């Protein structure tokens, strides 16, 4: 009996001893240098705004993102180097194309049935006394809103359709033809369809958004199908094509086919060949701080990021119902290091004076130990467009 108890005590001790020696991989808990902040703090919202502005500015394609809410935030204060923030942001696609370079305040989230939503992770460096704002790295994952859910809420709303379908191309071509016919001199060619929706309005109707390029000829010239391959898109058009009902349907007054179009031209275009793009050289000047990475900066010191587009969650349901956690539905990987003790990131190029400037970067924190005030309040509260 006594021996048994002794044995039990021994195994207990052995297990405890065995468990404690391997040091915990990350210094979590009170020893973590990452301080959780409230997701509704005004300072945090400002940092999130800067980060998203920089993410938008880094894109060559797609639509600008707006902040729906701050999901999580940690600050790593590094003495005279300022801070490195680890941000997790819930975002919504807006109606502004990134090439439009519009101000964030002029962009609106899309109507719910066209929503594209998701999550971004970003590492953002701020050194206030030195007036440095720098997006060190980011990654985002976006998905369109559930087609099934939106259809349930609004069966008659337009629904997304493949941008490469022939009807979509026809709608884009016909609406652009209408625009060109009213354009006094310059003619435009279709560059790329960026959005397409369809709806039944007495017949099939198509709504399209597409980028246009300038055609290398004017209206008076006969053939205008040539594209100068190196030119940039100059504007974004919204067009629609409403077809009448099929001829076989009796008793219905045949609707006239109707075509609509509106185009918006991007503000800053490099019109002079060989000249530097004014959009690139001007934007940092407009801001009081150095908040963009100089394009000449060596990319090895700071990997930037990308935006990943995944399909509607419904499409993945069968394989995903195998007990994956909700966090997996918007997988965003952002690790500049896997070393639990951290690594250094050379940011000397951000500072004017000579000498090395290094930031400590840690693996991106998980949701443990986040502030009780996170996630913050959402601007658009519809759960269909909020990442879990």
Ligand X SMILES: *[C@@H]1O[C@H](CO)[C@@H](O)[C@H](O)[C@H]1NC(C)=O
Q: Which residues bind ligand X (CB under 6 A)?
A: 40, 137, 139, 303, 305-306, 308, 333-336, 377
Beta carbon of residue 43, minimum distance to ligand X (angstroms, whole number): 11
- Output 366 or 377, the one with its CB closest to ligand X: 377
Beta carbon of residue 366, minimum distance to ligand X (angstroms, whole number): 14
Beta carbon of residue 351, minimum distance to ligand X (angstroms, whole number): 22
Cβ-in-10-Å burial (0-12, 13-18, 19+) of 129 comes to exposed
Distance CA 385, CA 146 (A): 9
Closest by CA to 59, choosing from 96, 88, 111, is 96
Q: What is the DSSP string of 234-302?
A: -EEEEEEEEPPPPTT-TTSPPPPPEEEEEEEE-S----STTSPPHHHHHHHHHSSSB-S--TTS-GGG-
For residue 375, is the peptide bond before it cis, meaning its omega torsion is within 30 degrees of 0? yes
Beta carbon of residue 135, minimum distance to ligand X (angstroms, whole number): 12
Beta carbon of residue 36, minimum distance to ligand X (angstroms, whole number): 15
- Output 246 or 298, the one with its CB closest to ligand X: 298
Distance CA 125, CA 123 (A): 7
Print burial letters for 247-283: b (CB count within 10 Å at least 16), e (below 16): eeeeeeeeeeeebebebeebeebeeeeeeeeeeeeee
- Output 234 or 362, the one with its CB closest to ligand X: 362
- Output 199 or 301, the one with its CB closest to ligand X: 301
Beta carbon of residue 120, minimum distance to ligand X (angstroms, whole number): 11
Place of tokens 């020893």: 31
In the structure encoding, which two tokens stand for residue 301, read together? 């010191």
- Output 216 or 331, the one with its CB closest to ligand X: 331
Distance CA 189, CA 200 (A): 28
Beta carbon of residue 262, minimum distance to ligand X (angstroms, whole number): 35
Neighbours of 356 (CB within 10 A): 9
Neighbours of 326 (CB within 10 A): 8
- Output 237 or 334, the one with its CB closest to ligand X: 334
- Output 216 or 298, the one with its CB closest to ligand X: 298
């Amino acid at each position: 009996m006594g021996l048994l108890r002794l044995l039990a005590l021994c195994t207990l001790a052995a297990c405890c001893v065995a468990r404690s020696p391997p040091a915990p991989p990350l210094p979590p808990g009170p020893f973590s240098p990452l301080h959780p902040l409230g997701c509704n703090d005004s300072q945090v919202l400002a940092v999130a705004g800067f980060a998203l502005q920089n993410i938008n500015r880094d894109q060559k394609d797609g639509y600008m993102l707006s902040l729906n809410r701050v999901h999580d935030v940690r600050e790593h204060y590094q003495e005279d180097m300022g801070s490195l923030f680890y941000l997790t942001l819930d975002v919504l696609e807006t109606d502004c194309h990134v090439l439009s370079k519009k101000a964030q305040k002029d962009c609106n989230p899309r109507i719910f049935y066209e929503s594209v939503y998701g999550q971004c992770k970003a590492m953002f460096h701020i050194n206030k006394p030195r007036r440095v704002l720098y997006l060190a790295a980011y990654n985002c994952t976006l998905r369109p809103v559930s087609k099934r859910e939106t259809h349930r809420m609004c069966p008659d709303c337009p629904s997304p359709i493949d941008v490469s379908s022939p009807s979509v191309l026809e709608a884009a071509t016909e609406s652009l033809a209408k625009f060109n016919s009213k354009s006094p001199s310059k003619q435009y060619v279709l560059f790329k369809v960026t959005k397409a929706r369809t709806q039944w309005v007495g017949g099939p109707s198509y709504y399209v958004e597409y980028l246009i390029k300038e055609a290398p000829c004017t209206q008076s010239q006969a053939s205008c199908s040539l594209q100068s391959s190196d030119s940039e898109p100059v504007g974004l058009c919204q067009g629609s094509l409403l077809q009448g009902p099929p001829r076989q349907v009796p008793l219905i007054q045949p609707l006239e086919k109707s075509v609509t179009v509106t185009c918006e031209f991007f503000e800053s275009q490099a019109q002079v060949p060989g000249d530097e793009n004014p959009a690139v050289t001007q934007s940092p000047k407009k801001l009081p701080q150095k908040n963009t990475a100089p394009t000449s900066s060596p990319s090895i010191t700071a990997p930037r990021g990308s935006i990943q587009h995944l399909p509607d969650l419904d499409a993945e349901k069968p394989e995903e119902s195998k007990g994956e956690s909700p966090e997996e539905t918007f997988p965003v990987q952002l690790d500049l290091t896997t070393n639990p003790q951290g690594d250094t990131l050379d940011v000397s190029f951000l500072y004017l004076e000579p000498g090395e400037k290094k930031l400590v970067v840690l693996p991106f924190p998980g949701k443990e130990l986040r502030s009780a005030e996170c996630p913050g309040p959402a601007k658009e509260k519809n759960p269909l467009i909020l990442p879990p």
